[in-house]
Amino acid sequence: MFQRNPFSSNPEPCQHLSDYKLNHGFNAYKSIQNLLVTSPIAKKTSIKKPHTTAIPRCSICNRFQGRMYLCLICSSFSCLDHTLLHPQSQIGHALFVDIQRAELYCALCHDQLYDPDFDQLVMSKYSMLLMSKGSTLNESIGQRLIKRRRFESSFDLRTSKYRVSNSIRDLRAKSCYPLGLRGLNNLGSTCFMNSVLQALLHAPPFRDYFLNGGHCMEACHKRTANTDQRLCLLCDINAIFSAVFSGDRNPYSPAQFLYSWWQHSANLASYEQQDAHEFFISMLDAIHEKEGKSRNVCRGNGDCQCVVHRVFSGLLRSDVTCMACGFTSTTYDPYVDISLNLDSNVSLAEKGKKLSKQKEDGSSMSTLFGCLDLFTRPEKLGSDQKLYCQNCQERQDSLKQMSIRKLPLVLSLHVKRFEHSFVRKMSRKIDRYVHFPFSFDMTPYLSSSILRARYRNRIFNFGGDDSDVFSEFKIFAVVTHSGTLESGHYVTFLRLRKQWYRCDDAWITEVDEAAVRASQCYMIFYVQKALYNKANGDIFLPIAGCC
């Protein structure tokens, strides 16, 4: 069965699941295996109704639409509403299987569950499918997952150049999907984690760092052999890259990585749904902390040279101008992503014009350009925020304006969809549609452009850098959120070789641009245009005979 890391600090499992396994063992698991149906390309597993090909219906209301669940005790089918009521009439009948996703669900906890034994059950079904197709399975799943398929063309973070080898152009197995496009199993409300991992797995400079030995697992194990450190988040991230880019198409379970992340972020260690953006920041912080300690990668000027800062870090400029005398104080702050408020004016910036828009259903629409305009727009600070002016020698009313001094290789934009009011003591989700471009130029939001507009071209040296040269970006990933604040689901859209793919935990499907644009974007990932073109041109090449 599944081998657990003895040093993992994972939360206690669901008590109802523990009681069930203690009383019933794995008999129901074994019987469920006969009902598992796996697609020919092993992209999806579901549960079929025994002894019939009919669509499963709820035994109470005869409903067949929406999610359906199978009780592990009495084998009855029920819709979600009657699944939640089932344990009240049948004591002990708390555990179900989501027949569409083949995942465990607790009707008393109202939550998905992750059980390594059940996960192994599903994976063994994939193995049997591969054996029936004539595949050789002499190696264990774990052995196959740790095989590394390195790219011969990669981005060198030290020289900011691509290294291209003509000897081997493509290491993919014969498949219609690009290498690295692999589903991630939900480990119990971990769609927030899977969605961010999918984006990071395909961020060109970040991806190439791990696939080309940026983190040496052997050296890391030697360094930590005589210490109390039992888990290494970088090693577990390295293992995910090795597994995803190994050519294996079966959905992968990043359980070991989840345990390591729990150790770093103990306050978020639970099977409850978490915020994808909060996980993203926590993960980058953990990588920075680990790599900074192991390599001492900070230069003398204080600039960190870890992979997180080399790929995602930029520099924000904040100008605070005294409204009495005009004196301006400037500060600079590093960032790994930019959080944007939705523009309340519902305006569309296109070719210099502001056009008011609405969707057909009457709901308002924002644009990414409008959000960026709002982010860099001068803001008058309130009377309770008066700042001390060095020139006036007293507190004065001030104007604050943000701009971008330095752009990163990978630009991460976070749309603030969740509002929290401390006055009203309530939270809500903003479902407003946001229109975002697939490629755009960040020049209007750079400090040089903002200052030129402010001083009307009367100054020429703005103390900038090379951001103006590398200001064009192309999209490669969008993390979306559907549902409500209390009950929602994260999905990632990936753009590989001009084709969009929808990554919904373990399932990967091709979609068109319309599906991406219609989604409720929560995090948008762009990469510098030159890197995007290189990554897609050198790595993802067509294969003869691919369907």
Paired strand residues for 379 = 400
pLDDT band with cut points at 50, 70 and 90 for residue 267? low
pLDDT band with cut points at 50, 70 and 90 for residue 289? confident
For the segment(s) 177-293+304-343+366-458+466-538, the CATH number from 3.90.70.10, 2.40.170.20, 1.10.10.10, 3.40.50.150 is 3.90.70.10
Kind and range of the H or E run holding 71: strand 68-71
Residue 287 and residue 237 in contact, taking contact as beta carbons nearer than 8 Å: yes
Q: Bigger pLDDT: 114 or 262? A: 262
Question: Where do runs of H (alpha helix) occur along 112-203?
Answer: 116-132, 141-145, 191-201
Do domains 15-126 and 177-293+304-343+366-458+466-538 share one topology? The answer is no
- List the one residue out of 479, 483, 481 whose CA is nearest residue 494: 479
Determine how β-strand 433-435 pairs with β-strand 365-367: parallel
Paired strand residues for 394 = 389
Structure tokens at 509: 């499907």
Q: What is the pLDDT of residue 443?
A: 93
Indicate the SS3 state at residue 494: strand
- DSSP assignment of 51-63: T--SPP--TTT--
pLDDT band with cut points at 50, 70 and 90 for residue 452? confident
Kind and range of the H or E run holding 136: none
**What average pLDDT does the chain have?**
75
CA distance readout (Å), 144 to 139, 256, 458: 6, 16, 63
For the segment(s) 15-126, the CATH number from 3.30.470.160, 3.40.50.970, 3.30.40.10, 1.20.1250.20 is 3.30.40.10
Paired strand residues for 233 = none
Per-residue pLDDT tens over the stretch 182-236: 999 888 778 899 999 999 999 999 998 888 877 776 666 655 554 445 578 888 8
Q: What is the pLDDT of residue 148?
A: 33
Q: Please state which of the ranges 251-255, 277-281, 474-478 shows the lowest mean pLDDT.
A: 251-255
Where are any strands of DSSP class E within 229-273? none
| Other beta carbons within 10 Å of 409 | 23
CA-based R_g, the chain, Å:
26
Mean pLDDT, residues 162-175 taken together = 37
pLDDT at 467 over 80: no
Q: What is the pLDDT of residue 512?
A: 93
| 191 annotated active-site | yes
Distance CA 253, CA 260 (A): 14
pLDDT band with cut points at 50, 70 and 90 for residue 147? very low
- List the one residue out of 262, 55, 69, 201 whose CA is nearest residue 496: 201
Q: What is the pLDDT of residue 304?
A: 82
pLDDT at 462 over 60: no
Q: What is the pLDDT of residue 349?
A: 38
Q: What is the pLDDT of residue 405?
A: 94
Structure tokens at 211: 């696939």
Structure tokens at 328: 């301006």
- List the one residue out of 477, 509, 533, 524 whose CA is nearest residue 198: 477
Q: Catalytic one among 58, 71, 191, 521? A: 191
CA dihedral of residues 402, 404, 405, 407 (deg, nearest 10)? 160
Per-residue pLDDT tens over the stretch 377-416: 998 887 777 888 888 888 888 899 999 999 999 999 999 9
Residue 5 and residue 256 in contact, taking contact as beta carbons nearer than 8 Å: yes
pLDDT band with cut points at 50, 70 and 90 for residue 290? confident
Paired strand residues for 239 = none
Distance CA 21, CA 15 (A): 10
Q: What is the pLDDT of residue 316?
A: 95
Q: Catalytic one among 16, 24, 435, 489? A: 489
Distance CA 340, CA 115 (A): 37
pLDDT at 356 over 50: no
pLDDT at 255 over 50: yes
Q: Bigger pLDDT: 46 or 30? A: 30
pLDDT band with cut points at 50, 70 and 90 for residue 295? low
Per-residue pLDDT tens over the stretch 43-70: 455 666 555 556 778 888 887 777 788 8
**How far is C-alpha 19 from the chain's CA centre?**
33
Per-residue pLDDT tens over the stretch 95-135: 988 877 777 888 888 777 777 777 777 666 554 544 454 43
Paired strand residues for 350 = 353
Query: DSSP label at 485?
Result: S
Residues whose CB is less than 8 angstroms from the CB of residue 529 and which lie 6 or more positions away in sequence, other chains included: 439, 472, 473, 474
| Other beta carbons within 10 Å of 430 | 16
pLDDT at 360 over 50: no
Residues whose CB is less than 8 angstroms from the CB of residue 248 and which lie 6 or more positions away in sequence, other chains included: 144, 145, 182
Mean pLDDT, residues 301-315 taken together = 84
- List the one residue out of 277, 209, 264 whose CA is nearest residue 233: 264
Q: What is the pLDDT of residue 357?
A: 40
- List the one residue out of 336, 334, 399, 413 whose CA is nearest residue 371: 413
Distance CA 190, CA 144 (A): 24
Kind and range of the H or E run holding 38: strand 36-38
- List the one residue out of 307, 300, 302 whose CA is nearest residue 285: 307
Contacts from 259-268 at CB under 8 Å and sequence distance 24+? 259/5, 259/8, 259/9, 259/10, 259/231, 260/231, 260/232, 260/233, 260/236, 261/193, 261/233, 261/286, 262/8, 262/9, 262/10, 262/11, 263/8, 263/9, 263/231, 263/233, 264/233, 264/289, 266/9
Cα angle 81, 87, 89; round to 5: 95
- Domain locations along the chain: 15-126, 177-293+304-343+366-458+466-538
Distance CA 272, CA 188 (A): 8
Percent of the chain with pLDDT over 70: 68
Structure tokens at 76: 């009855």
| 489 annotated active-site | yes
